[in-house]
Structure 1
Amino acid sequence: MTLPIASVPNGTVTSAKGFSAGGVFAGIKTPGPDKKDLGIIYSEQPCAVAGTFSQNTIISSTVVLDQERVGTDKTVHAVVVNSGCANTAVGEQGMIDAKEMTKLAAEHLGVSEEQTLVSSTGVIGVEIPMALMREFIPQIEVTADTHGGNEFAKAILTTDKRTKEIAVSFDVDGVTHTVGGVSKGSGMIHPNMATMLAYVATDAKVDSAFLQSTLSEAVKLSFNQIDVDGDQSTNDTVLLMANGEAGGSEISGGDEASETFAEAVRQVCEFLAIEIARDGEGATKLIEVTVDGAASDDDALLASRSCAASMLVKTAVYGRDPNWGRIFMAVGKAEIKLDEAKIDCYVNDIQIVAEGKGISYNVQSVVSALGGDEVRLRVALNIGDGYGRAWGCDLTEEYVVFNSAYTT
């Protein structure tokens, strides 16, 4: 059982008490209307912190540094983030620059360098323009209002077409706890993290170990279940920070308050993940894939992810082609336990396959369903109770054109 969870109007990462944020344009990216490329999230009170990171074997120095500074019983005050430059594959200079960025931010905020984290996102193989960092990090004004969160959300964008922000709240014994989040991501997105950054902040007081287990489970069901183009990034970072500013008892697992907190974090992460898939480079449609009746939840998660990531499924959705054979192929290549003769398949609740075989249906109705902004694919395996969902987007000519000239 969980307590009621409510949406916070105009929610963002600063909706949680005690968090402030801001962003500026430093000139790392090309200029544009209201464009930002450098931001900070800050908590005056030290935060318990949890993190998940890219599983690529080539990773940014910022990821390496954050991994060193995030762990059980460690606390942080701030994270500084730049967009437009990944600080990846630049040799030893990458770590030197990452550490200097945290030093500059820490001095600006009056906190410890070791309690400051850093993220970068953008083009790989380009060094951070530290002259700009030295000039503009001290100019970042952090505020605890919605505007501060919005400015930070703009600062972390790369090819994104819009910001991604949310907050939810719940009450425990008369004390309101808030979980707010922000993310970026649009391309180089594939399960097991992607070219994405996400920051979740809560004013709940949370045990450090429980904070990490909560984030890991939420990421498993959200960010690790999205795909845009099958490519995994070098910079992926998700951070969850808890400063305890709401007051109330510590959340440490095993009770209703802990279950509610975990569900609130999951909801925030799921929303941010879906918005990344929706905002995929060149995308015109969000694809949601549900697999139910699997032998286990893990099988269902794997199969739904395989289908959402399939290039052939993506192109079929883009072309409004009810080619259910591609869906079968994608589920089958997940190599999970199934019985082909028991599989049912649906497009936006219209059944097109029963017991492993195509059935008579109104083709135009399915074509029309595939023309919507959101396309729901459901595969019922009918051999167990396993359930999983994944999200992707269609693959269009615009994606190819955009990425063929990304750096030129």
Structure 2
Amino acid sequence: MKEDIAPVEGGGVTTPRGFLASGVACGIKAGGEKDLSLICSERAGHVVGLFTENRVPAAPVVLSRRHAALGNGRAVVINSGNANACTGPAGMANATEMVNRVAAGIGCPPEEVFVCSTGRIGIPLPMAKVRKGIDLALGRLSPQGGKDAALGILTTDTYPKTMGLRVSLGEQELFLGGMAKGAGMIDPRLATMLCVVTTDADVSDEAFTLAARRSVAESFNRISIDGDCSTNDTVLVFANGLARNRTLTPESGEFRLFQSALSLLMGRLARMIVEDGEGISKVVEVLVQGAADEEDAERAARAVAHSLLVKCSWYGEDPNWGRILAAIGYSGASVDGNRVDIFYNGVQAVAAGTRARTSARLVQEAVRLPQFTILIDLGIGSGHCRLLTSDLTERYVRLNKGE
């Protein structure tokens, strides 16, 4: 299967056939960086939208959720530097105006256009700048615009996160592309994160929805930097069918290949978000197995990934497995402390709930690495969960102290 899925060098949202993009600077950001992006398909197609579980959603989330329920999509406009969240009726009016302006510019119903915003909460959008930015972005749409679009959605990110894939279906080929942003306020549960994925695959509504939801569950819903769930998290997946392949359905073998490609794409974008996390120095994979069920495994994994004490110990390169045991104990998962085993990069630190007969030096060496894995075996059942997270440094505090 690996030879059937291959990366596309320099790939992004315009890698699939029929997708155009642009990214411009319209003055929302004071420094003159790109701050408005537009992605558009030459024709409407299927769309799946997944959104934040935060109960104080931003106006763009409320509006895009309504449009996603209709199932058809043509374009998405995204601004950075301003979240348009907690901005009242004016915020909804501004989000609606952004959608209507794009729809008029490309000639489609407003319901086929989506809107995302990211940045500081509670500040009204400077709509005069946004209007000019949308008009500029409409005029610059091109198949080469994916890179600029990826730059236009960044906030505290240090680099754009993009990927493209080619999928071979016998003599036919289809493509997938994506871009994402996110570095802080990351704990999606649908980290501040946005993601747009495009494909030219011809795929049935049922298969497309199934593939998108599975891929998000395995990727963006399995990362956490600081445990904060944003007001603006959005994942939009567009399929325009221009590959003209035989329609993929959940029962077809080709669908399984498409699912693998989509999961690979989202998984890589999600990992980029963690690797670029605000102020992080280490990427940590938390694996929980032997839980009573899948839900318990996730409870335990998230408790470890969210624990400030655990994250600080990782930054200090101190294994301090007692903090991990404590987090598991209060996670709400079923736990028998006398059955828990913990491994750092394969080196056992805890055996049956107590210190293992392992050299402390070997465990210490594991947490000194920039990336390492912690395996927690609860020894109760068959439930398991994988979650990608990070340490916590003083740089994170400096980046988020409000200045």
TMscore range, shorter length: over 0.9
1:20 aligns with 2:20: yes
- Residue type of the partner of 2:97? E
1:185 and 1:194 map into 2 onto residues whose CA distance is 6
CA contact (8 A) 1:338 1:381 kept: yes
Aligned counterpart, 1:253: 250
Aligned counterpart, 1:50: 48
Aligned counterpart, 1:383: 380
Of 174, 178, 182, the residue aligned with 2:175 is 178
Identity %: 40
- Greater CA deviation, 240-249 or 336-345? 336-345
1:200 aligns with 2:197: yes
CA contact (8 A) 1:193 1:233 kept: no
- Residue type of the partner of 1:400? V
Aligned counterpart, 1:300: 297
1:240 aligns with 2:214: no
Aligned-residue RMSD, C-alpha: 1.8
Q: Any idea what SS the aligned residue of 1:87 has?
A: coil
Shift of 1:10: 2.2
Count of residues paired in the alignment: 401
Aligned counterpart, 2:216: 219
- Residue type of the partner of 2:42? E
Aligned counterpart, 2:116: 119
2:340 and 2:7 map into 1 onto residues whose CA distance is 37
Report Cα offsets for 1:126-166 as digits up to 9, x if no partner.
Answer: 11111011112111112213xx1111111111111111111
- Residue type of the partner of 1:62? P
CA contact (8 A) 1:120 1:235 kept: yes
CA contact (8 A) 1:305 1:391 kept: no
TM-score norm. by structure 1 comes to 0.93
CA contact (8 A) 1:2 1:256 kept: no
Of 351, 367, 370, the residue aligned with 1:370 is 367
Report Cα offsets for 1:261-286 as digits up to 9, x if no partner.
Answer: 22222211111111111211111111
Shift of 1:315: 0.6
Report Cα offsets for 1:246-303 as digits up to 9, x if no partner.
Answer: 1111112122112222222221111111111121111111111111233333332332
2:126 and 2:265 map into 1 onto residues whose CA distance is 33
Aligned counterpart, 1:230: 227
1:135 and 1:257 map into 2 onto residues whose CA distance is 43
- Residue type of the partner of 2:141? V
Aligned counterpart, 2:64: 66
Which blocks of at least 5 consecutive residues in structure 1 are unaligned? none
1:307 and 1:184 map into 2 onto residues whose CA distance is 24
CA contact (8 A) 2:85 2:91 kept: yes
Aligned counterpart, 1:269: 266
1:345 and 1:20 map into 2 onto residues whose CA distance is 48
Shift of 1:193: 4.0
Shift of 1:112: 2.6
CA contact (8 A) 1:292 1:380 kept: yes
2:201 and 2:381 map into 1 onto residues whose CA distance is 37
Aligned counterpart, 2:10: 10
Q: Any idea what SS the aligned residue of 1:125 has?
A: coil
Aligned counterpart, 1:318: 315
Q: Any idea what SS the aligned residue of 1:136 has?
A: helix
2:163 and 2:336 map into 1 onto residues whose CA distance is 40
TM-score norm. by structure 2 comes to 0.95
Change (3 A) 1:301 1:39: same
Aligned counterpart, 2:29: 29
1:392 and 1:259 map into 2 onto residues whose CA distance is 28
- Greater CA deviation, 120-129 or 251-260? 251-260
Aligned counterpart, 1:187: 184
CA contact (8 A) 1:51 1:212 kept: no
- Greater CA deviation, 125-134 or 256-265? 256-265
- Residue type of the partner of 1:91? G
- Residue type of the partner of 1:43? S
